[in-house]
Amino acid sequence: MDLRQMEYVVTLADERHFTRAAQLMGVSQSGLSAAIRSLEDELGTPLFTRTTRRVEPTPATHALLPHARALLEQSRAARDAVVQATRQVSGTLRVGTEQCLGVVDVTTLVDRFHRRYPQVEIQFRQAGSHALLDALRADPTSPGALDVAFVGAASHLGSLPHQELGHEDLVLVCPPEHPFAGASSIGWEDLASLVYVDLDPTWGMRPLVDDSFEARGLARRVPFEVSDIHTLLDFVDRGLGVAMVPRHVANKPQGARLVTVTLPADAPRWEVSVVQSRAAAAQAAVPHLLELLAGAPACRGAEPVVVDESDVPLEAVAAGHSLDA
């Protein structure tokens, strides 16, 4: 057994889907399958039962998982300790993120950066994507300015240095008693007839949805405007309106009772990017945060974009280049 095999087992057990697990690990599906089969041969027992739709961990896997997770955590801690001892970095890192982005777990990423580089003062801000982009474009010496931010949607990034981290489909969420709850899909005319709960316009998701209706000459009613995802799901659950959200939002525990309906094939997709200020290249801490992205845990339900580091190193983003995945 080796650490890479442990990563495969943990990811596959979490995702219970070979394609998603392979995407998260940045390997081919056949490569993941071969690695799992090799480990099963070594241990002399099946680790997963496979069906046409999903995979399920066996009792042997449930016994292995606590040890596998502990080994991976110890490995990360060991690497962080070596880096901390040999690559002292100081200064300030100003990070911003929109809530519930999916694709990347920013909280875990910031926590790991703090443990690896304890001498860096981290300033963290959570806000809508448009407010974060304004902070990236601001004078770097002004209060509230940011060095790097994780934002949703791509149309408003302009020429700021950025890298797409992943994308996923939008879906419609509604309560089970809603007239469209049993529909397999829904058209734009029907979508325009509904009452919506949505986020305020500073969030990346709001203009993404607004622009979709405007591009088709359609208007929609949004009498309920909120500033956090959980309130949005609560309003939908109470039957006050429906919402168009990324699939990972629909999968949150707060939306367990809600029904998802497939949107038209030409609906926009939710994209998540890491974006830098133009002055970020001069900040010593920024490249080290970007280095950790390759190993940052992704949120379940989103499709990461795998960047081939041999062709486009993450350090290129820190140097001010735009990586359009």
Shared domain check, 179 and 143:
no
Domain end marker among 252, 269, 286: 269
* Residue 323 located in a structural domain: no
Structure tokens at 71: 């080994």
Q: What is the mean pLDDT of residues 11-29?
A: 80
Is 88's pLDDT higher than 70? Answer: no
Is 149 in a helix, a strand, or coil?
A: strand
Shared domain check, 171 and 149:
no
Is 274 in a helix, a strand, or coil?
A: strand
Q: What is the mean pLDDT of residues 289-303?
A: 60
Q: What is the mean pLDDT of residues 131-139?
A: 89
Shared domain check, 276 and 152:
yes
Is 297's pLDDT higher than 60? Answer: no
Taking the C-alpha atoms of residue 3 and residue 311, their distance in angstroms, rounded to an integer, is 25
Is 322's pLDDT higher than 70? Answer: no
Distance of CA 147 to the CA centre of its chain: 19
Shared domain check, 281 and 160:
yes
Spatial CA neighbour of 306 closest among 319, 293, 290, 289: 293
Say how many C-beta atoms besides its own lie within 10 A of residue 34's C-beta: 12
Is 255's pLDDT higher than 60? Answer: yes
Q: How far is CA 115 from CA 7, 80, 82, 90, 269, in A?
A: 21, 7, 12, 13, 34
Q: Find which of 16-20, 152-156, 218-222, 292-296 is predicted with most confidence, using mean pLDDT.
A: 218-222
Q: Which domain holds residue 62?
A: 3-83
Shared domain check, 48 and 193:
no
* Residue 65 located in a structural domain: yes
Using pLDDT thresholds of 50, 70 and 90, give the confidence band for residue 84: low
Is 153's pLDDT higher than 90? Answer: no
Q: Please list the helix, strand and coil fractions of the chain in percent, rounded to the nearest 5, in that order.
A: 40, 20, 40
Structure tokens at 264: 């038209």
Taking the C-alpha atoms of residue 261 and residue 182, their distance in angstroms, rounded to an integer, is 8
* Residue 16 located in a structural domain: yes
Domain end marker among 253, 269, 285: 269
Q: What is the pLDDT of residue 12?
A: 87
pLDDT in tens, 199-218: 998 898 898 999 999 999 99
Shared domain check, 262 and 181:
yes
Q: Which long-range contacts (CB under 8 A, 24 or more apart) does 207-215 make?
A: 207/130, 207/153, 207/155, 207/156, 208/152, 208/153, 208/155, 208/170, 208/268, 208/270, 209/170, 209/244, 209/268, 211/155, 211/268, 212/267, 212/268, 213/188
CATH number of 200's domain? 3.40.190.10
* All residues at 6 or more sequence positions from 165 whose CB lies less than 8 Å from its CB, including other chains: 103, 104, 150, 272, 273, 274, 293, 304, 305
Domain end marker among 52, 83, 114: 83
Distance of CA 241 to the CA centre of its chain: 26
* Residue 154 located in a structural domain: yes
Taking the C-alpha atoms of residue 33 and residue 12, their distance in angstroms, rounded to an integer, is 10
Shared domain check, 222 and 186:
yes
Shared domain check, 265 and 280:
no
What does pLDDT average to over the chain? Answer: 82
∠92-285-305 over CA atoms, to 5°? 125
Tokens 């963290």, residue located: 124
Query: How many structural domains are present in the chain?
Result: 3
